[in-house]
Amino acid sequence: MCAQEKQIIKFPCDYPIKVIGDATPEFSEHVESVMNRQVGVRKYRKLSEKLSKNNTWIASTFIIKATSEEQVMTLSNCLKDDKCVKMVI
C-alpha cells in the first residue's frame, strides 16, 4: 500500500459475504464447512439463505468478524476455487 493510499475498510469489522451455488441439499452444509475451516466455528453467522425464482440457485449470506484484508481475500479465494460455488460477492 502506498503511503498516500488510505485503507477503505477499518479492521476488525463485520464483513458480509454472499455465496451462490446450485440449489442442492448439500450446498448449505458444504459452504458452512468451508466457513468453519477458514473463519472458525461460530466466528460467523448466517444472515439469510434464498432460492432463485426457478429454484435453480441458492444464495447464502454470511457475516464474518473480519480481522484483516488478507483474511477476507483468503476466504473469498477459497470459496471461489470451490467447485460447488458459482459466485462470491
**Where are the domains positioned within the chain?**
13-88
Q: Three cell numbers at 36?
A: 468453519
pLDDT of residue 86: 97
Distance in angstroms (rounded) separating the CA atoms of residues 17 and 14: 10
Q: Domain 13-88 falls in which CATH fold?
A: Alpha-Beta Plaits (3.30.70)
Mean pLDDT of all residues in 11-29 = 95
- Model confidence at 61, pLDDT cuts 50, 70, 90, reads very high
pLDDT of residue 2: 58
pLDDT tens-digit map of 73-88: 999 999 999 999 999 9
Q: Note the pTM of the prediction, 2 decimals.
A: 0.87
- Model confidence at 44, pLDDT cuts 50, 70, 90, reads very high
